[in-house]
Structure 1
């Protein structure tokens, strides 16, 4: 991604559009990230003690840069402070200067060097990554208990990393069915049993050994379970070997076991095939 303060107005909006589409996040978030990056680049150029604010119009791409100055008493300690100016110095620039008053100076457009451009790019990518993680967490946090489809992205020490399209899930070795091996590119169905917020981003925890996976498979195969006519009360599994399930019917005319087994075992066989027998 090329970010430069010399980029014309349309270029900035095109960059924001492209990144927003690619990462499935709001365009406004990308524009804010670019503003933040350019502010840091401007402070690197003018000096870290300056409070420089950059605004990009999301409709036109017009960019304005301002230096914001707050007037403080002469005895105020300015070390480490940003955008402050002592009263006696401020009076040289503005006759009406008084403590607490805030002035804004419009800065002319300027070129930034290679180092500042690199720094700006890092700031934008960091902000975009954060927004992407937040979007992914919000999208999956309410999907615990669902079955999702994905493809195997990579296998690390027995843990399977799954590409879910708009996110990435992990199925740990102890959550997979024994003797079941996956290769990169394989299609996979798994159960979301937890979504955690971690420093490296949201962790979407997947399982094929969880009891809930079998219950959800039955809900997909047996319309009566999906509709709530038949209730699954309990599930016990020894993954890859055997499983038991307790079912009850809320309608006396429907046999819960027969409905789950299906004609000649058709419904149960579909689940058995998915659970590797």
Structure 2
């Protein structure tokens, strides 16, 4: 069972939007994976705190959670069972007004039931929509195919997460009589990207750099989810060094964006140049260096 989002953020149910935002930012800074390398528990809580803030920072979702219509993950709660749901031994008995005869003593109750049935709302319908990684990060309009052969255009907001459910009002099953139609609940399935990954609102990228760029430093072009940008590589950079591009991550509910973290990976040429090979053979300082110092058993 998902933990209560108010408890996760450490706020009361009457907390204002500013109080929610302040609590989330404090926890996110404390639990961020970069500050807790290898701490699986902190990483899982970081994700849980992000999901809790996503839910409570959306006024509509927060109201629906407070009313018990959705759970902490944003999923619809099962509807309450009514008397007719327990009438399995009387198949079809409550499909018309006669079936309610044992519950009615006068015409007033009978009329109430007839009107309720005549104005029954339509059911919510569930769909799954595969979305490209960049469309989920930047926002897009995608089309979902319906069972009857028609299509439905779905506006995917910037920053949409894998597994997030979008509610399209009035796009579900038609109601009866004057009843309102149900809603379409669209679960997003974000496709993996060939070199970007996402953790919370941050984007991660492994970037190969040449030996000369690693030793001498310099400016390189780095792909981001919104286009390539220039980034300075410090002199003497090694594989595993991580550089941050501020504000180049996924969109946040508060209007900001996460960051992009670039993990450098030094790549040697496919074919070693004779001049480089000769230099390395005669490089005395290189022979003295022991990058595995301290790893002896």
Please indicate the TM-score interval, normalised by the length of the shorter structure: under 0.3
User: TM-score with structure 1 length normalisation?
Assistant: 0.24
Give the structure with the larger strand fraction: 1
User: TM-score with structure 2 length normalisation?
Assistant: 0.23
